[in-house]
Structure 1
Amino acid sequence: MHRRKPPTPRARPADLAEQNGLFPYLVRFIERTAALGLSGQTAAMRDRELRRFLRWCRERDIERPQDVTRPILERYRAHLFHRRKANGEPLSFATQQYRLIAVKVFFRWLTRENFILSNPASELELPKVVQRLPRHVLGIEDIERVFAQTARTGALGVRDRAILETFYATGIRRMELANLRLHDVDVRQGTVLVREGKGGKDRYVPLGERAAYWIVRYRDELRPELVIEPDRGVLFLHEYGEPFHKDRLSDLVKKYLRAAGLDVVGSCHLFRHAMATHMLNNGADIRFLQALLGHSQMKSTEVYTHVAIDKLKAVHAATHPGARLASVRATRDPDAADDRDA
């Protein structure tokens, strides 16, 4: 199999955050985050969002923890509110909240460690995030149409079908799939071990026979041609022989959505939404779904009860007095209703 040469990585530009006098405190804070046993993803998120804050401070000559006051943090919150992305859209309230939470935790740690006498972020209010329903939920026919597109992409279509089947069968997140190892998938038992999922928690999820079939085909037929020694045991490999990162997975899924003629927003997470919605429509218990999706709180799972409309429609049709067309006829011709009762 011909492999394209991977792109040459660009030199990393100088980071203004690292030139800020607050940066040594950030380094110690991230070390403390790791020492407390929080996940690597949590540490990376805090590091990323606090670097954004430090760059903003650097541009305003704010160099010491003591220089940061409540009004300055209010200015930063206003900056996030007015900021626009490259496409001209504002940051979502969820993104604004995400970034401010990292700042609040950072200053709480600075106060606890006595680097500052009082916490300027203690009373900082976070933007309210309204729980939104998924914009698009793929139907079962949509899913099958997407799967069918993999037959047109040659040998790599076997790998891509295995990836799509795994997303839909297990409902795992994008990075959870990218981090899967060969020994995490037990095709005989039909289980997948998700290591260090969201919140740093491990969990087992069922796989399903069809997804297991495609994983075995990919593992035995194609993966040996993709792997570059030493084999580190990552299950799904890119054409370059290296693990997928999140953007490559998104691009791969979007390619098949477009090929299937689906003009929808999103990529990998659409299969998670679809799995949860389809299972609820077919009678799955929401508590089982919570464990399957790896939600720590039930409210995160309950959003799917509002999307799973098929089951709600069936209950409505069976129990609502005005749901049937016969109720319209009875209203128009009450004598006919009396005749039927007689």
Structure 2
Amino acid sequence: MKKLKLQNDSYKILLSDFEQWLDILGYNDRTVYYTPIFMREFFHWLETHDIQQLDQITIDTVKAYYKYLGQRSNQRTGAGLSKAYLNKHQNALRKFREYLKKHGAKTFKIHLRLEKKESAIKDILTQSEIKQLFAVTSYSSKYQRTRLRDKAILVILYSCGLRRKEAVSLDIGDILFDAGRVFVRQGKNYKERYVPINKHNIRILEDYIYEARPMYTGSHATEALFINKYGNRMHGQDMGRRLQHLLTLVDDEILREKHITPHCLRHSIATHLLQQGMKIEDIQQFLGHSSLKSTQIYTHLLESL
């Protein structure tokens, strides 16, 4: 749907400004990328129904659009849109409504109920599966620099529980070796926090920073912790691709078939810490959650495991 062409200039401007707003607020890369795509489809639908201004949008307009989504097929699979995908469209509308409200513009009402989602348990890896991912980094590339970088990425995403955007935004100076902390300056909504890191994982980061990173072209010209072969800061999608590559190397067929994202590693470490008896309030601080409710989901997951 990202290829849908908009004709209404005001919709084009709104969409561009909305995307910038999401980025400024510190939403993760996937949210910044996909939420405007969902809104593009909404704007395109409005145009096809001759709704050229936001003040023409009513409750019935939103319901009619949502009915259309419920009936259209997934372009990739040919099947209907999943409940999770429909919820993403709803959340996009709500975020756009929030954007309008923050800018003092007239908003529209969204009387939609979120679809009941499938359990998030499938996103949780066991500690054994995590160990398998770490193990394959010893032969994940013919280049030592890439192998050490893969291992360091796992440390940041799993052991430190960082969001993808937080991970790619790290600079070398954010790794506080003496203090045993990682300084997260690009947290969600730009909230800063310090994340503890043990000596074993510190050594992994030291191996990457002092042995592998200098082997990348142009490494001296940037402070970015994770860089690509061209010496540029890695993007979130780059990390996602490396993670998918690691999955292809494990011997566990069940693990290979799982759709694992960087955020799944964050879910996993939170669950494992809870299993080990860490207080829910400490996990909240570790993850950088503003609300304890966001962290309490792991208590429900743990009961179902």
TM-score, with length taken from structure 2: 0.81
- Map of 1:98 onto structure 2: 91
Q: Report whether the alignment pairs 1:157 with 2:147.
A: yes
- Map of 2:127 onto structure 1: 140
Question: Could you say which structure has the larger radius of gyration?
Answer: 1
Q: 1:296 aligns with which of 278, 286, 290?
A: 290
- Map of 1:190 onto structure 2: 180
State the shift of 1:44 in Å. 6.6
Q: Deviations for 1:209-229, whole angstroms, at most 9, x for unmatched residues?
A: 122111111111121121426
- Map of 2:112 onto structure 1: 125
- Map of 1:287 onto structure 2: 281
Q: Which runs of 5+ in 2 are unaligned?
A: none
Q: Report whether the alignment pairs 1:26 with 2:41.
A: no
Q: Deviations for 1:117-145, whole angstroms, at most 9, x for unmatched residues?
A: xx5x2253342555833214322222222
State the shift of 1:101 in Å. 0.6
State the shift of 1:24 in Å. 6.3
Q: Pairwise CA RMSD of aligned residues?
A: 3.2
The letter for the 2-side match of 1:205 is V
Residues 77 and 100 in structure 1, CA contact (< 8 A), matched pair in contact too: no
- Map of 2:203 onto structure 1: 213
Q: Deviations for 1:279-334, whole angstroms, at most 9, x for unmatched residues?
A: 1111111100011111122222112123335xx99xxxxxxxxxxxxxxxxxxxxx
- Map of 1:340 onto structure 2: none
- Map of 1:330 onto structure 2: none
- Map of 1:50 onto structure 2: 39
Counterpart Cα distance in 1 of 2:213 and 2:112: 50
C-alpha spacing 1:257/1:31, structure 2 compared with 1 (3 Å): closer
The letter for the 2-side match of 1:74 is K
The letter for the 2-side match of 1:100 is L
Identity across aligned pairs (percent)? 26
Q: Report whether the alignment pairs 1:84 with 2:84.
A: no
Per mean C-alpha deviation after superposition, the further-off stretch among 148-157 and 56-65 is 56-65
SS of the residue corresponding to residue 101 of structure 1 reads: helix
Residues 134 and 273 in structure 1, CA contact (< 8 A), matched pair in contact too: no
C-alpha spacing 1:192/1:107, structure 2 compared with 1 (3 Å): closer
SS of the residue corresponding to residue 266 of structure 1 reads: coil
The letter for the 2-side match of 1:142 is E
The letter for the 1-side match of 2:204 is W
Counterpart Cα distance in 2 of 1:95 and 1:226: 38
Counterpart Cα distance in 1 of 2:283 and 2:45: 41
Counterpart Cα distance in 1 of 2:208 and 2:267: 25
- Map of 2:236 onto structure 1: 246
Residues 133 and 303 in structure 1, CA contact (< 8 A), matched pair in contact too: no
- Map of 2:166 onto structure 1: 176
The letter for the 2-side match of 1:57 is L
Counterpart Cα distance in 1 of 2:245 and 2:126: 18
Residues 138 and 147 in structure 2, CA contact (< 8 A), matched pair in contact too: yes
Counterpart Cα distance in 2 of 1:84 and 1:226: 44
Q: Which runs of 5+ in 1 are unaligned?
A: 1-12, 314-342
C-alpha spacing 1:297/1:182, structure 2 compared with 1 (3 Å): same
How many residue pairs match? The answer is 291
TM-score, with length taken from structure 1: 0.73
The letter for the 1-side match of 2:269 is M
Residues 149 and 208 in structure 2, CA contact (< 8 A), matched pair in contact too: yes
C-alpha spacing 1:50/1:230, structure 2 compared with 1 (3 Å): farther
